[in-house]
Amino acid sequence: MSSSRCKSTQSTQSTQSTQSTQSTHRPAATFTSCKSLCAVKIMKRTFLTVGSGLKERSIAIISCLILLVVILTCLYLRILMNISPVDYLLAATEGSPRQSITDDRLNFGARPQVQTRTLWEAPIIWEGTFDADLYDRTHIRNQSSVALTVFAVGRYLDAYLKTFLTSAEKHFMSGLRVTYYVFTDLPDRMPVVELAPRRSLKVIQVAKHSRWQDISMMRMDAISKVIDAEIRHHFTYVFCFDVDQEFTGRFGSEALGDSVAQLHAWYYNRPQSAFTYDRNPESEAFMDAGDYYYHAAIFGGVWEKVKDLADHCFLKIMEDKLNNVEALWHDESHLNKYFWLHKPSRLLSPEYCWDPHIQDKRDINVTRLMWAEKHYDSLRTG
């Protein structure tokens, strides 16, 4: 009995042990299985997340690239809108234009017998091509202001200055704010001129040079200095004139532009071979080709451009002096070189600076500024 109880007990214990062992091992297998399942799910989720992240990142990169292409295309098209096809041809030449024409109201076909546009699309201003009232209203609305510089040195002051200023008051930039900057070595000899409202005059004393050629060339330095010291703070535009001229008709806001050059009355309708460029390779003004022949008696534009022109010409004049060279037509030769390298955005027809000694006036419907009679023998000091 004891033996059978023992067996029974052993059997019971064995059964319990087996059940205990089974009950202990089942949860372990289940836990391992759960871990594997969770790991698979996590890996799947991670893979999906990474895949989704890569997909989102790829989409973002592609979107950025598309946006970049659109921006670059817009910039390129914007540049093309401001450059005419001719400009690409001119890029191979020695100069290139700063801007294309923006005067969409100009009537270029009104004067078929003369050239009204340059190859780089800059307007050439002739009577009949512009609406004077439209230009005046626009510049008055924009509060455009003009500084006029003129040199009256030595005998030129008594001979020409009063006529120049009096006629300017009648015809130059009517309706706009204007200040005359008179450079002279004789400030106590200044004539009395009655000025209209919003017009003023300032006298700047300069040294007297022994040679008229030096007076002509040194004006570029004086113009640059007064622009830097004063004009740039108060004025939009600058126009520079020779004093031996007289205004005879409207010289108005249609002449204002970014960079303004004056066609020489004696050369505007002549072949390039007749232009009196400086052909001396030793000079900084040397030119063997060009577009037009410009007259240094008038040039203008926004103050930044006029200062750049004056600085360029003065620098080249001084370089020539160091090499004992003098340009054929002094500052005018250097001015022509500058406008060859930096195309003007606006050209004034010979109406704006006419010599009455020219017999052929078929193209001239109106004269706005006339050359005064020259008395070089008695006026020039050297």
Residue 214 lies inside a defined structural domain of this protein? yes
Last residue in a domain, options 41, 66, 81:
81
Q: Which helix (H) or strand (E) holds 369?
A: strand 369-371
Hey, is 276 helix, strand or coil? coil
- Is residue 230 part of the annotated active site? The answer reads no
Q: How many domains does the chain have?
A: 2
Please say whether the beta carbons of 328 and 298 come within 8 A.
Answer: no
Alpha carbon 213 to its chain's center: 31
For residue 54, tell me if it sits in a domain: yes
Q: Say if 278 falls within a structural domain.
A: yes
pTM: 0.72
Statement to judge: residues 112 and 64 lie in one domain:
no
- The b-or-e profile of 142-152 (16+ CB within 10 A means b, else e) is eebbbbbbbbb
Domain assignment present for 7: no
Whether residue 95 lies inside any domain: the answer is no
pLDDT in tens, 327-381: 999 999 999 999 999 999 999 999 999 999 999 999 999 999 999 998 766 565 5
Which positions make up the binding site? 151-153, 156, 242-244, 264, 276, 332, 355
List CB contacts of 28: < 8 A, sequence separation 6 or more: none
State how far the Cα of 361 lies from the Cα of 353, in Å rounded to an integer. Answer: 13
Residues 136 and 57 reside in one and the same domain: no
Residues 187 and 327 in one domain: yes
- Give me the residue label for tokens 């029974």: 8
Asked if the model's pLDDT at residue 269 lies above 90, the reply is yes
Domain housing 62: 13-81
Same-domain check for residues 70 and 144: no
From 254, 284, 326, 332, the catalytic residue: 332
Residues 6 or more apart in contact with residue 371 via CB below 8 angstroms: 244, 245, 265, 297, 353, 354, 355, 356, 357
Q: Are residues 139 and 259 in the same domain?
A: yes
DSSP, collapsed to helix, strand or coil, labels residue 211 as coil
Do 181 and 33 fall into the same domain? Answer: no
19 and 158 co-located in one domain = no
Residues that constitute the known binding site for Mn(2+): 242, 244
Asked if 37 and 178 sit in the same domain, the reply is no
In a 3-state reduction of DSSP, which class is residue 241?
Answer: strand
CATH number, domain containing residue 300: 3.90.550.10
Q: Tell me whether residue 46 is in a domain.
A: yes
pLDDT in tens, 167-180: 999 999 999 999 99
Binding-site residues for UDP-N-acetyl-alpha-D-galactosamine, in ranges, read: 151-153, 156, 242-244
